[in-house]
Structures are given as C-alpha cells and as structure tokens.
Amino acid sequence: MLERHERQTEEPVMSTRPELQQLRFPGESAGYRSARAALLAEEMALRRQIESVAARRRALPPGGELKQDYRFVGADGPVHVSELFAPGKDTLAIYSFMYGPERKRPCPGCTHFLDGIDGQVRHIDQRLNFVVVAKRPLADLLAFAKERGWHGLHLLSTDGNSYDSDYFGDSSALSPQMRRQQDFKDGEEWDMPMLNVFHRSSDGVIRHTWGSEMLYVPSEPGQDYRHNDMLDPMWNLFDVMPEGRGDFQPRLSYA
C-alpha cells in the first residue's frame, strides 16, 4: 500500500486550476510551477483531511470514566487529577514523559518535544490544562527542568501510582502480541511517550476522550510511529526540506 502511494506521488497529477498557479518565484520554470500547483492541490486536500479527522476525533462517543482520582506530586505538594482542572477549563491533557526508573537520563525524543511545548505553555494554558508526568521523584524532574531552562511546564511525579500502567504510559499492561510488535524483550519494561486527554462533564465526571494510540499500531517503512507528530513543529518543519527528515534523531546535547 505504501509503495503504491509513493509511486503515485512521484508523478503528480497536473492541476489546471488557475487559482493554484498565481504565484511565481524568481527563476522558476513552467515545469516547476505546474508540478507545484499539482502539489498545492494535494496540500489543500490534506488540509481538508486533517480537519475531517479532527472533527471525527471531537465527535467520538464519551470514553471510559477515569479509573481512579490518581494522586501526583508537584511543586506545590500532592495533587489529584480532579484538582488539575482550572475554573472554566474542562479538558486536561497528560503527557507521559519517558524519564522512568530504568533511565539514567531522560528520553531525547521526549525532551526535544517538551523543549518546544515549554515555549508554548503560556498560550496553551489559556484553553487547556496540560501537565507532564513521569515515574521519577519530583526533585529529579525539577532539576532536569532547571538544566533545560524550562519555566512553564507543569511537571508532576506519579509518586508510584498506577496511572502510567492504566493509561499505557508504560509497557507493563501491554499484551504479549503487543510486546512482540514493539520488540520488547522478556522481563523488560519501559515508560512510553503517551498523550492522554480527559474531559470533565458538568456533573463533575471525568472521562478519557482520546489517547495517542498510533504509538501502539504497526509502524510503516521509514515512518516510525509518528504518534505525536501533529503536535511537534520540528518534524513538520523538516518535512518541508528537500532532504526530508533523513535519519535525524534528537539528542540531549549537540557539539
């Protein structure tokens, strides 16, 4: 399926729509403009598809009720999930940060993602309750935040609760089939970069509404899982490069 799609996109269908051929960049050829107009038509179709998927996501039936009112630990002390909803904001997103007990240092992929989110939190906070949890003592999380220069992220320690196991922020509840798919070794457990969204109804009931489950479906050749790509400006920026994403992998530091 993927290979057939790649063959199709190698030879774009020419677009004759005049509104897609109005721009002209210096030195471009007629062939470039024709191919670019055809690509623009596909980009417009992708825009429609993105909104269509988002609409279907918003229209999902109510999910399961929150399994328990988990207790986390933050900079201001213990806090339960029910206390993470600020007045007037009934949606909560929880990102599971891969900085569990099996790691000496945090996941570089999670770290680059949170580097970007930290700069956006002052805007995100206007509409959404967003927190980052990790199976790590709070002191370690705060020390790493200071090292990275994070100032806005709301960091919480799971403090040994079962949230990550219950909502697939770690591998402990995966089926044997899923473990084989994810290439886990016997006896090996890992924390996982899962994003879960919860909504509080008018009667105070908290339900799970969505999770980044593409993390747990089979990847396609050269694409990894891309479960949080729609939220990640770095990968989307790389996608407009002629070179594409290449084999780049984020690091905690660069020479």
**Separation between Cα atoms, residue 215 and residue 160, nearest integer Å:** 23
CB-based burial of residue 63 (10 Å sphere; 0-12 exposed, 13-18 middle, 19+ buried)?
middle
Question: In the CATH hierarchy, which fold is given to the domain comprising 71-216?
Answer: Glutaredoxin (3.40.30)
pLDDT at 7: 41
Cα 25-29-31 angle, rounded to 5 deg: 120
Residue 167 vs residue 220, higher pLDDT: 167
Domain map (residue ranges) of the chain: 2-59, 71-216
Average pLDDT of the residues in 192-212: 97
Residue 21 vs residue 84, higher pLDDT: 84
pLDDT at 153: 98
Instruction: State phi, psi for 155 to the nearest 5 degrees.
Output: -100, 135
Instruction: State phi, psi for 214 to the nearest 5 degrees.
Output: -60, -20
pLDDT at 15: 54
Across the chain, mean pLDDT equals 90
**Helix spans in 125-245 (H):** 138-148, 163-166, 176-181, 233-238
> Per-residue pLDDT tens for 79-91?
999 999 999 999 9
Distance of CA 189 to the CA centre of its chain: 21
pLDDT of residue 6 exceeding 50? no
DSSP symbol at 79:
E
The answer to whether residues 38 and 14 touch, using CB atoms and an 8 Å cutoff, is yes
Token representation of residue 124: 């995100």
3-class secondary-structure state, position 94: strand
